[in-house]
Amino acid sequence: MQQKLFPKFAEAVPYVHELHPGEIMYIPPFFWHHVESITESVSVLIPFDMVAEDPVHACCFYSG
């Protein structure tokens, strides 16, 4: 199924980067990504289209 939907997925080249304290990473909207914590950390997701009137949803914060 995935091969039919995304025929070039098998050709994708992964980029691996380890963040250190004080660093951030910008991931563009709709960019496929996978995040894995190797130590205790806090991840914060800030939606790119958020406006001041939008409530902050619990899924925007993850502590692992």
pLDDT top residue among 59 and 33:
33
Gap between the Cα atoms of 63 and 43, Å rounded: 6
pLDDT in tens, 11-46: 988 889 888 888 888 887 777 778 888 877 777 776
Q: What is the DSSP string of the chain?
A: -HHHH-TTGGG---------TT------TT-------SSS-EEE---TT--TTSPPPGGGEEE-
Instruction: Report pLDDT for 32.
Output: 79
